[in-house]
């Protein structure tokens, strides 16, 4: 059962990460689009569908399947240091997801609180967290 949980956890993580990479990129384009214009309205639809139909279910599945795999793999009690560190980074990734949802609401309300440069920089955050998570899982340096 453990290997099946890990496999489906991996699939869920890939889907979640795809959304976490793509949504800030859509925000870059949205920040440049005219408020109320056709492009802005199209991006609103795309962003909402990405967040609600892909990112949210995949994020929930990644967390649930990951925790189930950890229990099935015997990591509880006595959680190893590498897993604690991974959970902290995944919690940060979840917070990043929440920040994207906040920005989604701002765009839905036609508010432009940040420019495209902000979203270009924000687009790098999930990459940095992913690198840390993968190193912790594969190399287990701690």
Q: Tens of pLDDT along 2-56?
A: 999 999 999 999 999 999 999 999 999 999 999 999 999 999 999 999 999 999 9
Distance, in Å, from the CA atom of 115 to the CA atom of 67, rounded to the nearest integer, reads 37
- Please give the pLDDT value at position 74: 93
* Interacting residues of 8 by C-beta distance below 8 A, sequence separation 6+: 61, 65
pLDDT at 77: 87
pTM assigned to the model: 0.94
76: confidence class by pLDDT, cuts 50, 70, 90? confident
What pLDDT, in 10s, does the model give residues 92-138?
Answer: 999 999 999 999 999 999 999 999 999 999 999 999 999 999 999 99
Q: What's the pLDDT at 6? A: 96
Identify whether the C-beta of residue 142 lies closer than 8 Å to the C-beta of residue 88: no
Confidence bin at 87 (pLDDT 50/70/90):
very high
């Amino acid at each position: 059962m453990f290997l099946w949980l890990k496999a489906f956890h991996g699939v869920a993580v890939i889907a979640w990460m795809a959304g976490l990479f793509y949504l800030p990129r859509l925000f870059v384009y949205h920040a440049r689009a005219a408020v109320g214009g056709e492009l802005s309205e199209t991006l609103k639809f795309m962003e909402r569908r990405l967040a609600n139909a892909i990112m949210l279910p995949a994020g929930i599945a990644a967390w649930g399947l990951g925790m189930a795999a950890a229990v099935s793999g015997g990591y509880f009690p006595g959680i190893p240091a590498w897993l604690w560190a991974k959970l902290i980074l995944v919690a940060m990734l979840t917070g990043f997801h929440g920040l994207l949802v906040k920005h989604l609401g701002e765009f839905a309300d036609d508010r432009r609180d940040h420019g495209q440069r902000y979203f270009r920089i924000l687009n790098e955050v999930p990459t940095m967290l992913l690198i840390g998570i993968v190193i912790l899982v594969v190399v287990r340096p701690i």
